[in-house]
Amino acid sequence: MSKKLYHYFLSLFIMLYSGFAQAQHRINPDDIKEKMQWFADAKLGIFIHYGIYSVKGIDESWSFHNKKISYADYMSQLKGFTANQYKPNELANLIKESGARYAVMTTKHHDGVALWNSKYGPLNVVQKTPAKRDLLKPLYDALRQRGVKTGAYFSLIDWSHANYPGFLKDSSRYQVKDQPAKWVKYLTFMNGQLDELAKQYNPDLWWFDGDWEHSAEEWNAAGMRQKLLSYNPNTIINGRLQGYGDYDTPEQNFPVSRPAYKWWELCLTSNDNWGYQPQDKNFKTPYEIISIFTDAVSYGGNLLLDIGPKGDGSIPPEEVNLLKELGTWNKKNGEGVFNTIAGMPQGHYYGASTLSKDSTAVYLFVPAKTRRRY
């Protein structure tokens, strides 16, 4: 066994046995099954982590949170964020070519830097960077023109906002119960930005992050869900809203057994990091991605595969290659992937499989040596 192949199987073993946390669900699946059908059929989405952290190629937000870099040094990246090679039409073409049915764009990470011209404070790429333009609308428009559903990643936490309890610029913190008025101010700000996104871009899917820092009651998660559905009753919400989401979202770790909840999605990096980091060349091979993809589909789930554009907006060639190779495979084998349901339980076939919706056809995915004929 080659060293590279050994590392692949070792990493897969770690993924399988690292556990899979089941989210608490407060939503009756029978109430949402109609709107969830497109998601169940989609199977493949592309995650796009794009932000100022790509300028220096460092951890998105976490690099100053974990004190790898000072807050001031981190925010200095605003000056170098040009997006002058950000080409939404070409990116949408690549996503469409991959076979993906939806794409999720980071509208704002934990650092608080919005990728649209928010009226709730000037910390956005339109007002504070050389990019000077809304990066969301042209991509969402291009995706919709190609029949690809649109998703909006949004961080509930904002480590750059003075009223957020985890504000780290001066390492100050407060308990919500001790300063409720301050917390209300933050929620007003956060919900204002959500209103902007809902009104201006009307995403098909909301991909929240950061809910772990506060309870459902503190976030008013139930009210947030109700508000977003008032804008679009068919919008889908991921499982990171303290139980008020529509589907589970395991991160990096593949479930040991089929998840009990009906809808789920594995979000996975192309290499070891979400955003662009030039030193990270540990890209998964097309074979590895396809193997993980078919495993997820076999369990009745989706794969949300991440890419990280450079600071100028261009896509690393390794990620372009991954999406193109995935697209080539999907063109030939898509019948057994898209619009299918989970395959046979282990004991009948010890590999990935799917079934047609009417259960008249079974599709088996068999690993084989190939020269890119798939």
- Residues 196-214 pLDDT 10s: 999 999 999 999 999 998 9
Structure confidence at residue 6 (pLDDT): 36
Query: Residue 332 corresponds to which tokens in the numbers above?
Result: 């030939």
Say how far apart CA 326 and CA 18 lie, in whole Å. 26
Would residue 9 count as lying in a domain? Answer: no
The domain in which residue 204 lies consists of: 25-340
Q: Which residue has the higher pLDDT, 140 or 369?
A: 140
Would residue 5 count as lying in a domain? Answer: no
* pLDDT for residue 165 is more than 80: yes
| Domains of the chain: total | 1
Would residue 15 count as lying in a domain? Answer: no
Would residue 13 count as lying in a domain? Answer: no
Average pLDDT value for the chain: 91
Would residue 187 count as lying in a domain? Answer: yes
Start-end of H helices in 99-161: 125-128, 137-145
Would residue 6 count as lying in a domain? Answer: no
Would residue 54 count as lying in a domain? Answer: yes
Say how far apart CA 140 and CA 203 lie, in whole Å. 8
In terms of phi and psi (left: phi > 0; alpha: psi -120 to 50; beta: otherwise), the region of 76 is alpha
Residue 320 contacts residue 95 (beta carbons within 8 Å): no
pTM for this entry: 0.91
| Number of residues assigned to the chain | 374
Would residue 285 count as lying in a domain? Answer: yes
Q: How far is CA 275 from CA 104, 161, 311, in A?
A: 13, 22, 10
Instruction: Output the domain CATH number for residue 68.
Output: 3.20.20.80
* pLDDT for residue 9 is more than 50: no
